[in-house]
Amino acid sequence: MTVESLYPRLEPLLAQVQKPIQYVGGELNAQLTDWDDAEVHWALMYPDAYEVGLPNQGLMILYEVLNERPDALAERTYAVWPDLAALMREAGVGQFTVDGHRPVRAFDVLGISFATELGYTNMLEALDLAGIPLHAVDRDETHPVVVAGGHAAFNPEPIADFVDCAVLGDGEQVVGDITDVVAAWKRQGRPGGRVELLARLARVEGVYVPRFYAVAYAEDGTIASVTPSGDAPATVAKRTVMDLDEWPYPKQPLVPLAESVHERMSVEIFRGCTRGCRFCQAGMITRPVRERTITGIGSMVDAGLKATGYEEVGLLSLSSADHSEIGQLATELADRYEGTNTGLSLPSTRVDAFNVTLANEFSRNGRRSGLTFAPEGGSERIRRVINKTVSKEDLVRTVTTAYANGWRQVKLYFMCGLPTETDEDVLEIAELAVEVIRAGREASGTKDVRCTVSIGGFVPKPHTPFQWASQASAETIDHRLRLLRAAINADRRIGRSIGLRYHDGKPGMIEGLLSRGDRRVGRVIERVWREGGRFDGWSEHFSYERWTAAAAEELRPFGLDLDWYTTRERGQHEVLPWDHLESGLDKEWLWDDWQEALSEEEVADCRWTPCYDCGVCPTMGTEIQIGPTGRSLIPLTPVRS
Amino acid sequence: MARQPEGPPPPPTVQKLRIRYAKRGRLRFASHRDLARALERALRRAQVPMAFSAGFSPHPKISYIGAAPTGTASEAEYLEIGVSRRCDPDAVRVALDESLPPGIDVLDCVEAQAGTGSLAERIDSSRWRVELVDTPVDDVRAAVEAFLAADAVMVTKRTKDGTRDVDARAAVVSAEVAGGAGCAILQLVVRQLTPTVRPDDVLAALAAVADLHPPLPPRAVREAQGRLDGSGNVADPLDPDREVRAHCQGERTPA
């Protein structure tokens, strides 16, 4: 069966929409395989706009890994903006891939990567545009298997009705296992139909098939039990890729014609983080730390720059300055690209891992952009609660050093609404910023220094010590942000050098509902989508009123409401919706860490101190993989201008 | 005193290259900014030794001349680059073309010759080919006749500052209609005035004078850009550089 391209029918519509380039594909390094040359066809979706989705590393990695298989083909699809969606419905053109413009409905698997829960309505929109029934139970064997992945898949319960499977953990290997299962089932003539296929997928390590788990609720609204049926495992454990050097993806990063949110090439220098920041879901669910070696990174940078022509390389990870070879790496990369206007960048730097030499090496050949630090908490007390300890003196000293060495712009990231937080904790952010500017002006000898304070509301996440915490209400967040703004503006002579960027507390409440929600929340998501909810990560599209009204209506029959899911503190023995999904973290350890947070006790990083039994390595059969390797980058001779 | 980056200033431009390229097929939906980004990256991938501006944010020396609007294809887009080491224009053409995504195709590359003036000065008009699918040729012909017969045809353009009325007729040098496979083909020669009159403005003018409404958005291709000569043709703007070069070579190596 060959599948026709929708492009001829799509093209006339593109002349009528904003930024049509995002729908045409044809990116550098895009791949297109003949439909009939593949047994298993994957549509990979990032459920947000193209400009956000295209640079996503996860999707790029899986795209290459799958396309390298002789029996598989992978194409990409992104959320379609409402202007085109309306024209597509009118013209009867379904959700399409940007590579071959093939209908998503024709693929065997639709894999959706959720970096955030705010993409859920976009998933429903894509399913509907594709002509795929919204509810998994209404699909037959001609429909794609809808698979959710990404960090949000660690609690897929709110979308359990809409997805066929969720994949936990690293995707590189599990997509191959899924391909094997689907290929075998198709080759055998699809025995047992869709249910048999899902039953086989449920036996793949890391694959969770919600329909095989029955959830029962207690009278107080909490979960009484989650019961697997058939031979579905009682718990589903995440996948972990060991030895990152064996997975040097993306090898050929996609370079879009359209402007995207990251105009640079990225190399993931390690995966996982054991710093133990208690708010950080990413750090908790991606353990242990697995470093790529300096030579592995060096060859990926070289290959990637040749393949893309980017002039900046981002060295990605959850805390890049912690790489055991970061200093040597920065120097040797700067040597290699001397005179080529190739810049290096880190996403953000821990205050305690920053040094000027490192920062100088990063900007030696490229543009000197601003520096970004993420203290996260305003006071030393709250930083102990979240286990991101750094003293105020160290913070001011570090930032001042940066100003003294020629940086003029420093960005500081904070959160508001952290457990145990008071108004005073947040007001200390203002004191800190004022001090940073004062000291910075003195150290640099100029008034031309700026500090941007960026602050957002904290949302407690599953699989973290804060999973039991009460989320601060939107009113609390907004109140504290108002106080902070007034405090920063109190002295205009200093305040004018401080920028404040913040998000109001409302979207965080919805993110909170979706993050720690259970299957009953699915009705809220569906209702919001039916009432026009799309692109919830975009303030111009997000409607808090639509969400709160839908939540009130849909949760009332259960005797629940938005607050029950967000501001309610959970008890130690409550069955959490994601308890049967294994990140490897021992629930008792998480609880102890939560209690230690409340008593402001810190925990060290297990890379440099003895194991404190979080549970991940023994449960998952994994281990910390760090250097230094003692190796050096081989010299290369890139073109010089 | 303004801060200066440490280290020596960037190497100077030793040669300028003038490049003609096409945007074709799906990539007609690329905007000028999209193309500029793609070209800058391709120049790096092709390892062209670009000259850079000085300062904290060095930029490669590239000037773009005009730009076909988003949604229109072109066979005749031009840019000029400055390089810090002398290059063989043919080698640059091949390497750059290989480094660009299919659909952005480098057609020509010549060395800018001293004393020939700027490239921008050699471009004042465009020749367009506009395909009107499922539109009767006779309807288009009648509309074009009415349009050409008018002294002025005002259309409203959307600009970044709102809307602006512009005389579409004044910019059009010639307009001819032919029949194609299932479509009418409109050949236009249009002067590049300010504000620019684009094929969609001419179509709006045809709708205004003769109520012509093609059922599908028309597909426009810029076939040529250059100076309008006495007989209404558009001259190749790279010719002056080629002529000087041929002349110099002729002097050095007499046949």
- Each residue's pLDDT tens digit, A114-165: 999 999 999 999 999 999 999 999 999 999 999 999 999 999 999 999 999 9
Under DSSP, the state recorded for B228 is B
Is the separation of the CB atoms in A241 and A288 below 8 Å?
A: no
Nearest to B30 among A7, A21, A368 (CB): A21
Instruction: Find all residues with CB under 8 Å of A141, minimum gap 6, and list them.
Output: A190, A193, A194, A197
Q: Is residue B77 part of a domain?
A: yes
Looking at residue B181, its pLDDT comes to 81
Is the separation of the CB atoms in A101 and A25 below 8 Å?
A: yes
> A222-255 as b/e, with b when 16 or more CB fall inside 10 Å?
bbeebebeeebbeebbbbbbbebbebbbbbbbbb
Read off the pLDDT of each residue in B205-228 and give the average, rounded to a whole number. Answer: 95
* B19 and B95 part of one domain: yes
Read off the pLDDT of each residue in A70-90 and give the average, rounded to a whole number. Answer: 98
Looking at residue B248, its pLDDT comes to 67
- Report how many helices (DSSP H) and strands (DSSP E) chain B contains, helices first: 6, 10
Percent of chain A with pLDDT over 70: 99
For chain A, the residues whose C-beta falls within 8 A of a C-beta of chain B are: 7, 12, 14-16, 19-21, 23-28, 255, 257-259, 263, 305-311, 341, 367-368, 406, 638-641
| DSSP annotation string for A245-262 | GG----SS--B-SS--S-
Would you say residue B1 has pLDDT above 50?
Answer: no
Domain count, chain B: 2
* B73 and B106 part of one domain: yes
| DSSP annotation string for A313-324 | EEEESSSGGGST
* B222 and B131 part of one domain: yes
* B112 and B66 part of one domain: yes
Is the separation of the CB atoms in A110 and A43 below 8 Å?
A: yes
* B60 and B72 part of one domain: yes
Looking at residue A341, its pLDDT comes to 81
Range in A293-297, A372-376, A556-560, B75-79 with the lowest mean pLDDT? A372-376
- State whether residue B103 sits within 8 Å of chain A by CB: yes
Q: A640 contacts in B (CB within 8 Å)?
A: 49
Q: Is residue B170 part of a domain?
A: yes
> Quick one: tokens of A169?
């953990």
Q: Decide: helix, strand or coil at residue B212.
A: coil
Rounded to a whole number of angstroms, the distance from the CA of A311 to the nearest CA of chain B is 8
Residue of chain A whose Cα is closest to the Cα of B9:
A339
Rounded to a whole number of angstroms, the distance from the CA of B103 to the nearest CA of chain A is 8
Q: Is residue B250 part of a domain?
A: no
Q: A306 contacts in B (CB within 8 Å)?
A: 45
Look up the CATH number of the domain holding residue B77. 3.30.70.580
Is the separation of the CB atoms in A312 and A346 below 8 Å?
A: no
Of the residues A14, A28, A302, A448, the best mutation for testing chain B's interface (the one with the most B CB atoms within 10 Å of its CB) is: A28
Q: What is the pLDDT of residues B60-102, one digit of tens each?
A: 999 999 889 999 999 999 999 999 999 999 999 999 999 999 9
- Which residue type occupies A625? Q
Q: B30 contacts in A (CB within 8 Å)?
A: 21, 257-258
Compute the Cα dihedral for A134, A48, A111, A158 and give only its sign.
Answer: negative
Per the prediction, chain A carries an average pLDDT of 95
> Quick one: tokens of A8?
């001829």
- Model confidence band, residue A641 (pLDDT cutoffs 50, 70, 90): low
Would you say residue A511 has pLDDT above 60?
Answer: yes
Residue of chain B whose Cα is closest to the Cα of A24:
B26
Rg of chain A in Å (alpha carbons): 25
Q: A304 contacts in B (CB within 8 Å)?
A: none
Q: Decide: helix, strand or coil at residue A462.
A: coil
Is the separation of the CB atoms in A127 and A112 below 8 Å?
A: no
Please indicate whether, in this complex, the C-beta atoms of A639 and B49 are within 8 angstroms of each other.
yes
Q: B37 contacts in A (CB within 8 Å)?
A: 257, 259, 263
Last-in-domain residue among B121, B152, B171: B121
Looking at residue A340, its pLDDT comes to 83
Looking at residue B253, its pLDDT comes to 45
Would you say residue B57 has pLDDT above 80?
Answer: no
Would you say residue A529 has pLDDT above 50?
Answer: yes
- For residue A483, the cross-strand partners are none
Count of Cβ atoms closer than 10 Å to residue A220 Cβ = 10
Read off the pLDDT of each residue in A415-421 and give the average, rounded to a whole number. Answer: 98
Looking at residue B250, its pLDDT comes to 53
Of the residues B41, B183, B213, the best mutation for testing chain A's interface (the one with the most A CB atoms within 10 Å of its CB) is: B41
How far are the Cα atoms of A2, A34, A529 from residue A41, in angstroms, in the given order? 12, 10, 27
> Quick one: tokens of A506?
């409302």
Please indicate whether, in this complex, the C-beta atoms of A309 and B44 are within 8 angstroms of each other.
yes
Would you say residue B7 has pLDDT above 80?
Answer: no
How far are the Cα atoms of A269, A298, B35 from residue A306, in angstroms, in the given order? 18, 12, 19
Nearest to A26 among B27, B49, B52 (CB): B27
> Quick one: tokens of A409?
């712009």
* B191 and B165 part of one domain: yes
Look up the CATH number of the domain holding residue B166. 3.30.70
| DSSP annotation string for A443-456 | HHTSS--EEEEEEE
Q: What is the pLDDT of residues B103-137, one digit of tens each?
A: 999 999 999 998 888 999 999 999 999 999 999 99
Range in A6-10, A539-543, B192-196 with the lowest mean pLDDT? B192-196
Read off the pLDDT of each residue in A502-510 and give the average, rounded to a whole number. Answer: 95
Strand runs labelled E in A467-529: 498-502
Would you say residue B56 has pLDDT above 90?
Answer: no
Read off the pLDDT of each residue in A388-416 and give the average, rounded to a whole number. Answer: 90
Q: Decide: helix, strand or coil at residue A237.
A: strand
- Report the distance separating Cα B211 and Cα B59, nearest Å: 48
A223 versus B193: the higher-pLDDT residue is A223
Please indicate whether, in this complex, the C-beta atoms of A12 and B217 are within 8 angstroms of each other.
yes
Strands A72-78 and A40-46: parallel
Q: B60 contacts in A (CB within 8 Å)?
A: 341
Q: Is residue B8 part of a domain?
A: no
- Report the distance separating Cα A251 and Cα A476, nearest Å: 46
Q: What is the pLDDT of residues A575-601, one digit of tens each?
A: 999 999 999 999 999 999 999 999 999
- Report the distance separating Cα A115 and Cα A406, nearest Å: 35
- State whether residue B228 sits within 8 Å of chain A by CB: no
Would you say residue B233 has pLDDT above 80?
Answer: yes
Would you say residue B3 has pLDDT above 80?
Answer: no
Count of Cβ atoms closer than 10 Å to residue A165 Cβ = 27
Last-in-domain residue among B68, B101, B121: B121
Looking at residue B254, its pLDDT comes to 41
* B115 and B88 part of one domain: yes
Q: Is residue B244 part of a domain?
A: no
Q: Which domain holds residue B212?
A: 124-226
- State whether residue B51 sits within 8 Å of chain A by CB: yes
Read off the pLDDT of each residue in A223-237 and give the average, rounded to a whole number. Answer: 96
* B166 and B89 part of one domain: no
> A405-421 as b/e, with b when 16 or more CB fall inside 10 Å?
ebbbbbbbbbbbbbbeb
Q: Decide: helix, strand or coil at residue A427.
A: helix
Range in A541-545, A546-550, A617-621, B4-8 with the lowest mean pLDDT? B4-8
Per the prediction, chain B carries an average pLDDT of 90
Would you say residue B4 has pLDDT above 70?
Answer: no
* B185 and B150 part of one domain: yes
Q: Which helix (H) or strand (E) holds A300?
A: helix A294-308
Q: What is the pLDDT of residues A420-460, one digit of tens each?
A: 999 999 999 999 999 999 999 999 999 999 999 999 999 99
A142 burial level (CB within 10 Å; 0-12, 13-18, 19+): exposed
Rounded to a whole number of angstroms, the distance from the CA of B69 to the nearest CA of chain A is 11
> Quick one: tokens of A465?
């010590």
- Model confidence band, residue A357 (pLDDT cutoffs 50, 70, 90): confident
Please indicate whether, in this complex, the C-beta atoms of A24 and B27 are within 8 angstroms of each other.
yes
Checking A488-492 for CB contacts under 8 A at 24+ apart, the result is A488/A430, A488/A433, A488/A434, A488/A453, A490/A430, A491/A434
Would you say residue A380 has pLDDT above 50?
Answer: yes
Pure H helices in A43-166: 50-53, 57-68, 82-91, 120-130
* B53 and B117 part of one domain: yes
Range in A7-16, A223-232, A345-354 with the lowest mean pLDDT? A345-354
- State whether residue B1 sits within 8 Å of chain A by CB: no
> Quick one: tokens of A628?
């230094």
ipTM: 0.86
Please indicate whether, in this complex, the C-beta atoms of B84 and A641 are within 8 angstroms of each other.
yes
* B113 and B128 part of one domain: no
Rounded to a whole number of angstroms, the distance from the CA of B230 to the nearest CA of chain A is 35
- Report the distance separating Cα B225 and Cα B76, nearest Å: 6
Pure H helices in A100-188: 120-130, 174-187
- Which residue type occupies A611? C
Q: What domains can you pick out in chain A, each with its CATH number?
A: 7-237 (3.40.50.280), 240-368+604-641 (3.30.750.210)
Please indicate whether, in this complex, the C-beta atoms of A257 and B40 are within 8 angstroms of each other.
no
* B81 and B131 part of one domain: no
Please indicate whether, in this complex, the C-beta atoms of B216 and A12 are within 8 angstroms of each other.
yes
Please indicate whether, in this complex, the C-beta atoms of A26 and B50 are within 8 angstroms of each other.
no
Strands B154-159 and A450-457: unpaired
Q: A639 contacts in B (CB within 8 Å)?
A: 47, 49
Looking at residue B158, its pLDDT comes to 80
Q: B7 contacts in A (CB within 8 Å)?
A: none
Rounded to a whole number of angstroms, the distance from the CA of B11 to the nearest CA of chain A is 7
Q: Which helix (H) or strand (E) holds B159?
A: strand B154-159
Q: A307 contacts in B (CB within 8 Å)?
A: 45
Read off the pLDDT of each residue in B193-214 and give the average, rounded to a whole number. Answer: 93
> Quick one: tokens of A532?
């026009």
Nearest to A200 by CA among A141, A113, A158: A141
Interface A-B: count of C-beta contacts within 8 A? 86
Looking at residue B255, its pLDDT comes to 37
Read off the pLDDT of each residue in A364-389 and give the average, rounded to a whole number. Answer: 89
How far are the Cα atoms of A130, A311, B34, B133, B143 from residue B213, in angstroms, in the given order? 31, 46, 30, 11, 10
Q: A308 contacts in B (CB within 8 Å)?
A: 41, 45
Q: What angle do CA B98, A70, A177 make, to 5 degrees?
A: 125
Q: Is residue B245 part of a domain?
A: no
Read off the pLDDT of each residue in A493-513 and give the average, rounded to a whole number. Answer: 95
Range in A130-144, A338-352, A444-458, A516-530 with the lowest mean pLDDT? A338-352
Last-in-domain residue among B121, B146, B167: B121
- State whether residue B34 sits within 8 Å of chain A by CB: yes
Read off the pLDDT of each residue in A159-188 and give the average, rounded to a whole number. Answer: 98
Q: Is residue B209 part of a domain?
A: yes
Q: A54 contacts in B (CB within 8 Å)?
A: none
Nearest to A309 by CA among A258, A379, A254, A259: A254
- For residue A414, the cross-strand partners are A376, A455
- Report the distance separating Cα A346 and Cα A588, nearest Å: 34
